[in-house]
Chain A
Amino acid sequence: MAQIVGCVNTSHVPSIGKALAHGLQQDPYWSPFFDGFPPIHRWLEEVKPDVAVVFYNDHGLNFFLDKMPTFAIGAGQQYVNGDEGWGQPDYPPFAGDEELSWQLINHLVDHDFDMTICQDMMVDHAFALPLKLLFPGQPACPIATVPISLNTVLYPFPSARRCAMLGRNVGDAIRAWDSDKRVLIVGTGGLSHQLEGERAGHLNPEFDRKFMDSLLNEDPSWIEQFSSEDIIEAVGTAGLEIIMWVAARNALRGPVREVHRNYHIPISNTAAGTQALAPA
Chain B
Amino acid sequence: MKREIPGTYILSGKNARQGYALNRMCFSFNDAANREAFTRDQKSYCERYGLTEAQTRAILDRDLIGLQRLGGNIYYLGKYAGLLGLDVQDWGAMQTGMSKAEFTAMLFASAA
Show the binding face of A for B, using Cβ within 8 Å.
15, 59-61, 64-65, 82-88, 153-156, 194-201, 203, 205, 227, 229, 232-233, 237, 264-266, 268-269, 271
Show 19 A/B contacts (Cβ-Cβ < 8 Å), sorted by A.
A65-B23, A84-B30, A85-B35, A86-B79, A196-B77, A198-B6, A198-B65, A198-B95, A200-B96, A229-B1, A229-B2, A232-B5, A232-B8, A237-B10, A265-B108, A266-B110, A268-B88, A268-B89, A269-B88
CB-nearest residue of chain A relative to B108? A266
Question: Closest Cβ of chain A: how far from B102's Cβ, in Å?
Answer: 10
Complex contact B96–A201 (CB within 8 A): yes
- Complex interface residues of chain B between 75 and 100 (CB less than 8 A to chain A): 75-79, 82-83, 87-89, 91-92, 95-96
Judged by DSSP, the binding face of A is loop
Complex contact B103–A201 (CB within 8 A): yes
A265 to B109, CA, bound (A): 9
Complex contact A60–B6 (CB within 8 A): no
Complex contact B82–A85 (CB within 8 A): yes
Q: Which residues of A contact B88 (CB under 8 A)?
A: 15, 195, 268-269
Tell me if B9 counts as interface (CB < 8 A to partner A): yes
CB-nearest residue of chain A relative to B31? A83
Show the binding face of B for A, using Cβ within 8 Å.
1-3, 5-13, 16, 20, 23-24, 26-27, 29-32, 35, 64-65, 68, 73-79, 82-83, 87-89, 91-92, 95-96, 103, 106-108, 110-111
Question: Closest Cβ of chain A: how far from B100's Cβ, in Å?
Answer: 11
CB-nearest residue of chain B relative to A83? B30
Among B27, B31, B74, B87, max chain A CB count under 10 A is at B74
Question: Closest Cβ of chain A: how far from B82's Cβ, in Å?
Answer: 5
A44 to B27, CA, bound (A): 37
Q: Which residues of B contact A197 (CB under 8 A)?
A: 7-9, 65, 68, 95
Nearest 8 Cβ contacts at the A-B interface: A199-B7, A85-B79, A198-B7, A265-B111, A196-B74, A266-B107, A203-B110, A155-B12
Q: Which of A84, A200, A237 contacts B95 (CB 8 A)?
A: A200
Q: Which residues of A contact B16 (CB under 8 A)?
A: 65, 154-155
Complex contact B6–A199 (CB within 8 A): yes
CB-nearest residue of chain B relative to A267? B107
Question: Closest Cβ of chain A: how far from B46's Cβ, in Å?
Answer: 17
Complex contact B24–A154 (CB within 8 A): no
Q: Which of A86, A153, A196 contacts B82 (CB 8 A)?
A: A86
Question: Closest Cβ of chain A: how far from B22's Cβ, in Å?
Answer: 11
